[in-house]
Amino acid sequence: MAAKQRDGLRLFGLPPQACERVAALWPGPLAGVGPDDRKTSGPCAAALVWQGDDAEVAAFLGAHPECRWLHTTAVGVPQAVLRHADATGLTVTNGAGTRGSAVAEHVLALLLAHFKGLPQTLAAQRERDWKVPVAAELRGRRTGVLGLGDIGRRTARLLDAFGARVTGCRRSAGGSPGSGFPVPGVSAVYGRERIEEFLTGLDVLVVAVPLTEETAGLIGSAELALLRPGAVLVNVGRGPVVDEVALVSALRTGRLAGAALDVFAAEPLPASSPLWSEPGVLITPHSADATAETDQRCLELLLDNLTRFGAGRPLRNVVDPARGY
């Protein structure tokens, strides 16, 4: 898989410091390194996506069938890219393992804000009102983590450290619940075929699955009805995994006491969305992983894979097009 000296490399949204590091490793021409350099007519062996419009990336692949490798710093891979990879044999690698620490901390921050009444406390502070909020403890809560990739596993460990009772659900359980599946902090793991059993009676549901054909709309009104009345939902996976209409209905009927959302079906979240003003909802702008440490891990993985590709060595984080991750 070694790249030829003449082959180009297409860059999508790489920050300047990353472009400099890439240029030092890549012997061929670079494209997409400036605001006016959006296309390349020459052959491209590979593409690196830091931030890029899905349609633009798909269009590039369609115009460059010679491209043999695409790396994205995201964990989820667009369906158009997966279909192209499945049809052409394009190797796709992703950023799995770079974002888990940041996102897990974000999940805990949102949950603690909810249970400790921080939004109400901050509102009272703005009014100079000495008002004690209604608070509760995370300890002992039945908490389910949907998706046990890097983000889900790290989130589970933090929840366990706070004394929550953690179960998990993934595509395949790898064994029956309680069988000792090696996920630290998780007492039982369910396969997706047992998702109803997994959801029943949860106080907290953390959604951390990527968006695939299987997970789109996975959490709807029927699934939310299985949670314990007054439960809290956190979504740091992808917006379309949760039916937002069903979510708003569950909040308004009291089935859910709150929701903490970092991802949405449409981003940026439209001003017309009822989620902005729904009581009990905490909104962050798809920023759970927005840390300098995450950027550094993304860059290190990208550069390592670039070195491996140039030398014809096996790449890290190769995505299975059929699974989507």
pTM confidence score:
0.91
Q: What residues are annotated to the active site?
A: 238, 267, 286
- Class (C level, CATH) for 100-283: alpha beta
Answer whether residue 175 shows pLDDT above 80: no
Instruction: Read off the pLDDT of each residue in 83-97 and give the average, rounded to a whole number.
Output: 96
Rg of the chain, C-alpha, whole Å: 21
Q: 239-288, pLDDT tens digit by residue?
A: 999 999 999 999 999 999 999 999 999 999 999 999 999 999 999 999 99
Domain ranges of the chain: 8-98+293-311, 100-283
Q: Which of 113-127, 165-179, 238-252, 267-281 is the least confident region?
A: 165-179
Residue 187, judged by CB atoms within 10 A of its CB (0-12, 13-18, 19+), counts as middle
Q: 188-237, pLDDT tens digit by residue?
A: 999 999 999 999 999 999 999 999 889 999 999 999 999 999 999 999 99
| Confidence at residue 324, expressed as pLDDT on a 0 to 100 scale | 85
Answer whether residue 3 shows pLDDT above 80: no
CATH architecture, range 8-98+293-311: 3-Layer(aba) Sandwich (3.40)
CA distance 53 to 74: 12
**Are both 8-98+293-311 and 100-283 of the same fold?**
yes
Answer whether residue 178 shows pLDDT above 50: no
